[in-house]
A and B are shown apart, each in its own frame.
Chain A
Amino acid sequence: MKTNPKKKSCQILLVFIMIFASLTNNYGSKTSNNDKCKKIKKIAQKMKEAYDNGNLKGVIRLYREDCFEKNTKETNIKPGKEEKGFKTCPKEMRAKIYHWVVHSYYALDKTGKAEPYLKKLQLLRRKGKKVQYDYWLPIKNEIEKYAVVPRLLFGFHVGFNSTKAHPLTRYPIIKPAYAMETDVYGKEYTAADSLGTKIGFMGEYALTKKLSVVLQPSGILMKYRYKNSLKFDRPGESEPITVEFIHQQTLYYWELPILLKYRKYQYSKLELQPFLQAGVYFRIPDPFNKSKNEVKLYENEEFKDETGTDINELFNKFNGGYCVGAGIHWVTGFRDLRVEIEIIYKHGFNNIVNGNHRYDYKYNKLIFGYYDVFDDMKLSNWDFSIKLLVPVYFKLFRRKK
């Protein structure tokens, strides 16, 4: 059964949008649990009074009794499990609670136990929550040693690419019947007259506040072209008869780039963060779309033929390469959405052509029609992409001194 590529692309895009919508809806949801919040407000007030009275353990006891789930315990590393009602309270109230807990633990010289609450506090003051509360000031210097960074980002990307093929070993079917000084039968490789496209989704996992691992699985369409020229010298004429076969090839692949991204954290007030990235990519042929070859004989209109020839079997089932790129990461301010623009140069490591099928007439329909067998070649691409990302959760990383 044939699959319409456009329909398939639309389905994939729809899935991305649904995932994206669900992420954005879940994130930043607000509660209307007013009763519970009033209670939390009172607890915060009580904690302040207890702290002012020097009852530091009382502050912590209040937090544990009223904010934890029943039968949950706090360890030195991990705080106890909080009640759902507490979690859904406004961030300002939760921040006040954490603030008194942190202060109490510091006063008790239990900095290790204070640490998780300090992080929670910092996470609450990420984008959209400006520093304006009195609880903040006493620990401001300490807390600003940490940065809140999205630990996991998820999103999708679209883009276009310009592809060029690089011959490794040439395999001409037309051979000279004369001593030849230069390779006049070699193909001339160029970029295609139109750009390729790509679409996919992506995930980014922060290793440190500046360094992250990026996976960008995508469907990629690449186009490149090459020219075969035949020249026949005419006796007594200076200009030879020239016949040119211009092959434009369209390749469909599924691609998985794995990148290490280094991002300059909070570069400016606009929160534009330039980044550099490098890594490797792997490609397999798209099973739903057949790569094809179109031949254009511009010089001989009577032989003009633009029919697509299936060339899927002439390529290896796997190829890969390295990629380096740069871009700009923009924190939009709307629900923590992020937009990225990037440009990546990709260069293949290995030959993409299946040598076993090169001369096989069953697979290569170009041999006899157009005197063409594929050279061993690898591809390089310039990829330009626009990405829309949403953070799934954040993590606190220590700032550099």
Chain B
Amino acid sequence: MITSKKKNRSQRSKPGMIPDCAYPQADKKCWDSGVLRIFILPLFVVFFLFLVSCKPRTQGNDPTGSFSNIYDKRDTSNYTALDVKQTTDGGYIILAMTDSCPYLLRVDKYGDFVWDTDTEALGDYFEPAPVVLVSGTEYFFFCNVIRKETKYRHLALLKFSEPDNSFIEVDLSSFFLDIANIVPMDAKIMSNKDIILLALNSLHYRVLLHRIKPDGKKAWRRDYNFCISCSAKYPFLDRRFHFIESIEKSEENYYNVHSFLYEDIAQYPACFEITTLNPATGELVETNTLNKPFIATVWHSSDRFSAAYINNDIVSFFINSEKKVDWETQQFQIDSNEGLEQIELLEDKPVFIKTAVVNGQTIVFFAGSSKSDQIVLYTYSVSSGICLDKKYFGGTRFYEAAGLIKTADGGIEILGTTYLASLFDRICLFKLSKEELENMVGQ
């Protein structure tokens, strides 16, 4: 007999009767308190969890800092990505081409839309060079325009001021007003906002190197001829062969300019040269001829470089190679056996290259477009020359690389173009965070 209730004790003493609380579970008050324990407490827990589970429905971003974005304009135009740069606030400015007209898209650091340009307002301009220059909140790019006076193709430098939300065409009359058929190839902006431009004159077969002041005035100007056979052998408008790369030489920043060969020193079968240029004076410090073209280079020092090189229609990578020059002919010596052939890459698409220090290792990143319609990111160790990782961006749809930059937070970003729903070209942007790069590289 187990009970502590007085009432039940009194009932238990009556002979021949079964007490009300003879069995422990039969105690009504015990039963009630059991209900409290069994029902009320779990109900509170369930209610609490229900409240916790009802988070606001918001748009989110990858907490790792990485993102994969495809930008849709909801129209039937094609948007082909050309270049991306990081802005001073950590966001990104993307230069693209829509139906051959220039188009700027500004996104924030998460890759979310901030503003873009009106394609109709820039309808007179066409074929922008695949480089956007950032100077504070001003963005520059070169393109072409048909002047009404001449009805020829002329060079134009457009400046977009973000605070004013307006475009200005920089007056280049001191350089190019009367010169037609100039095709911009690459440009670099310097700390004092001067711009170095590499362009080709398609009418007179000349390579043009100019330093332009922010107001469009001339700082210096250098140009030289190149032979017709070179432009016949390598497409004139293939901008992959004409680029400027900064290089530290004698503790100063110089530039290596890769373009068609200076005709006066042409030596068969060379078509290209690397010109080392003093940006202050425009002085040509050194010129080295090349049998086959580089399509991207990065200089680790004045005599060591990594590059993407085209040999027999195959893209090869050189990792931390030594610059070897035949001093008699001034020819750049390339050892084909040293190159790492990338059979999967399309040989007629650009390759982008950047170096970064990840986990204490100097790494070279290559981004290119594969034959299986994917963007490929290669990660090579400079010290060992070993491929540490390879990432593919793309699958059943068409994706093509258009840019590669290092970001201020230690990550990298890949710009590309995809063929959205197999219908229209769209800009895509992939950010790999510092943590993700560290995982790729390992310790």
Interface residues of A (CB under 8 A from B): 76-77, 106-107, 109, 111-112, 114-115, 118-119, 142, 145-146, 167-180, 183-185, 207-208, 211, 230-235, 240-241, 243, 260, 278-280, 300, 303, 305, 321-322, 347-350, 355-356, 358-359, 361, 365, 367-371, 373, 376, 378, 396-398, 400-401
Distance, CA A171 to CA B60, complexed state (A): 5
Chain A contacts for B43, CB-based, 8 A: 278
B71 on the A face (CB < 8 A): yes
Evaluate contact between B391 and A230: CB separation under 8 angstroms. no
Distance, CA A168 to CA B60, complexed state (A): 9
Evaluate contact between B59 and A173: CB separation under 8 angstroms. no
Interface residues of B (CB under 8 A from A): 1-2, 12, 15-20, 22-23, 25-26, 28, 31, 34-35, 38-39, 42-43, 46, 49-50, 52-53, 55, 57-64, 66-76, 79, 105, 111-113, 116, 374, 391-397, 399, 418, 420-424, 427
Evaluate contact between B70 and A371: CB separation under 8 angstroms. yes
Choice from B46, B60, B76, B427 contacting A232 with Cβ under 8 Å? B76
Please, could you name 10 A-B residue pairs with CB atoms under 8 Å apart, sorted by A? Answer: A146-B23, A177-B105, A178-B116, A211-B35, A232-B75, A278-B46, A347-B53, A368-B396, A369-B396, A400-B28
Closest-by-CB residue of A relative to B427 is A177
Choice from A106, A233, A349, A396 contacting B52 with Cβ under 8 Å? A349
Evaluate contact between A348 and B53: CB separation under 8 angstroms. yes
Chain A contacts for B25, CB-based, 8 A: 208, 397-398
Chain A contacts for B38, CB-based, 8 A: 207, 211, 260
Choice from A260, A358, A369 contacting B62 with Cβ under 8 Å? A358
Taking the closest CB of chain B, its distance from the CB of A306, in whole angstroms, is 13
Distance, CA A356 to CA B64, complexed state (A): 8
A109-B15, A172-B59 given; A373·B68 CB < 8 A: yes
Evaluate contact between A365 and B52: CB separation under 8 angstroms. no
Chain B contacts for A279, CB-based, 8 A: 42
Evaluate contact between B55 and A168: CB separation under 8 angstroms. yes
Distance, CA A243 to CA B43, complexed state (A): 46
Evaluate contact between B393 and A170: CB separation under 8 angstroms. no
Evaluate contact between B391 and A361: CB separation under 8 angstroms. yes
Evaluate contact between B72 and A361: CB separation under 8 angstroms. no
Taking the closest CB of chain B, its distance from the CB of A149, in whole angstroms, is 11
Evaluate contact between B420 and A396: CB separation under 8 angstroms. no
Distance, CA A256 to CA B127, complexed state (A): 62
Choice from A112, A260, A376 contacting B1 with Cβ under 8 Å? A112
11 additional contacts (CB under 8 A) given A278-B46, A355-B62, A361-B391: A106-B15, A118-B18, A146-B26, A174-B69, A174-B70, A177-B79, A233-B74, A365-B395, A368-B418, A400-B28, A401-B20
Chain A contacts for B391, CB-based, 8 A: 361
Distance, CA A208 to CA B39, complexed state (A): 13
Evaluate contact between A359 and B62: CB separation under 8 angstroms. yes
A230-B72, A397-B26 given; A208·B57 CB < 8 A: no
Chain B contacts for A142, CB-based, 8 A: 17-18
Distance, CA A145 to CA B34, complexed state (A): 20
Evaluate contact between A349 and B57: CB separation under 8 angstroms. no
Chain A contacts for B53, CB-based, 8 A: 321, 347-350, 378
Evaluate contact between B68 and A359: CB separation under 8 angstroms. yes
